[in-house]
Structure 1
């Protein structure tokens, strides 16, 4: 593996993992008051477009990385937009012990 491939793999891993703590915090606390729905809307749109770009180029690293980030960012956005009762129900589905 050359350094370019290694750098790309590490960057992809960092991008994907970066959303997990935020998503897990939301599941555990059910608090999204500090999250901007406008900012996350742009984030979700960006990942959707990067995924489409990867599909257009046929580049699976772009497709996989941005699809995972799209799913995690979409979850965070959804939890931010849901009313509290629905947010609680979704969090209970993801982690019944919370």
Structure 2
């Protein structure tokens, strides 16, 4: 395995897992008050564009990495935008023990 593949693999691992702690915290606490809506809107747009770029080039590493990042960041954004009662319902469905 060459250095570029190793660096790319590590970058993918870091990028795709970076949103997991925030998503899990939102599910567990149902609290999104400290999350910037504007930042997540821009992040979701960015990952959407990177995903489109990967699809246009048919580059699976770009498609896979940005697809996962898009799903996680979009989940956090949706939870931020949902009214409290809907946020509770989604979180309870994903982690019933936390409610």
2:16 match: secondary structure = helix
With normalisation by structure 2, the TM-score equals 0.98
Task: Give, in whole Å, the separation in 1 of the partners of 2:57 and 2:80.
Answer: 32
Match of residue 55 from structure 2: 55
With normalisation by structure 1, the TM-score equals 0.99
Over residues 17-56 of structure 1, what are the superposed CA-to-partner deviations in whole Å (9 max), with x where a residue is unaligned? 0000000000000000001111100000000000000001
Give the ranges of 4+ consecutive aligned residues of structure 1 lying more than 2 Å apart after TM superposition. Answer: none
2:96 match: secondary structure = coil
1:14 and 2:14 correspond: yes
Structure 1: unaligned runs, 5 residues or longer: none
Cα shift at 1:92: 0.4
Structure 2: unaligned runs, 5 residues or longer: none
